[in-house]
Amino acid sequence: MSVAHDAQTTATELVGELASEIKGKVVLTTGVSPKGLGAIFVEAIARAQPALLILAGRNPAKATQTAEAVKAIDPSVQTRILELDVGSLAAVRSAADVVKSWADVPSIDVLVNNAGIMAVDFKLSPDGYESQFATNHLGPFLFTNLIIDKILASKSPRIVNVSSDGHRLNPIRWDDYNFEDGANYNKWHAYGQSKTANMLFTLSLAEKLGGRGLLSYSLHPGVISTNLGGHIDWNEGFPGVRAVDRAFGNKEGWAEFKWKTSDQGAATHVYAAFDPNIKAHNGAYLENSHIADPLVETVKPWGTSKLEASRLWKLSEKLVGQQFNY
């Protein structure tokens, strides 16, 4: 029986409810620096006896700190560190090769694409793409597709893409995803574009691989104080995002942020990764540990369009230089 959840629901509570779904699973999570949502997520599910937690991050030392935290919770839970910089396609390919080389890990039950950046100053990735689009979408797109065989080898494969209600800040800029190499860059528009991409990528995975048993969900975790926005001067940041919201006519342009605790912020991660009651809603966008309602919550049509999803898949293949036909 499905349990009602809301903004107050915590990851700890959901782990208690879904412990039988978590037990024995192999879970790969990207972006696991201490105190971030990825770390909060893996530390929460460590209490339910997963078989293996693969901790992927750009900084192995930080991932090791999270592994130590897991060990302190339950020494019997196995962990493995994977060096992964999703901002570089070459680094993504190297990390994927490492995962594919693990003969003792024949399958991965859940992939959580959690790593990301937010509202950074304009910069091109090593591959020449705007850094938020590159890090938040192109890297995860490539990594997921390169290790997809191990995911599909699971009896119950799932992919979770951590998006944001920040997708409201911009659709995909089809003919200028690089913001004219910075000439017309707005950090919030760029963040919005990348978060829209997370939703569309999720739709495509469900469409292309749902017939092979794959479930895929995107989500908005909520507004949480983590390292993700630690670089932002909010004296400038609040007016900046508010201006974009007001230009779009979004209700958020006139509202105050509704903050969550870290435990509340990681709740929808747990829900998306393990809840068995949402299987009929493959490709859905989730918020507050339920399927988001476009009539009530912030769900822009540009993030739920199958046509836009198809266009993005083709564009992404072009930008990463590889086709993935399913």
Q: Give the β-pairing of 52-57 and 26-30.
A: parallel
260: β partners: 224
Radius of gyration of the chain (CA): 18
Cα dihedral 273, 278, 283, 288 in deg (nearest 10): -70
Q: ∠ CA(231), CA(161), CA(60), 5° rounding?
A: 55
CA-nearest of 131, 42, 31, 17 to 83 is: 31
Cα dihedral 324, 57, 161, 258 in deg (nearest 10): -160
Q: Is 180 helix (H, G, I), strand (E, B) or coil?
A: helix
Longest dimension (CA), the chain: 53
Annotated catalytic residue within 185, 191, 217, 271: 185
Token pair 């809301």 is at which residue?
6
Whole-number Å distance between alpha carbons of 147 and 89? 14
185 in active site: yes
Pair of tokens at residue 181: 């190499």
Residue 10, CA distances (Å) to 122, 260, 271, 289 in order:
35, 10, 10, 9
- Please, which residues have CB within 8 angstroms of residue 70's CB and are 6 or more apart in sequence? 42, 43, 46, 53, 77, 79
Pair of tokens at residue 216: 């895929």
Pair of tokens at residue 301: 């049509």
For the annotated catalytic residues, the residue numbers are: 185
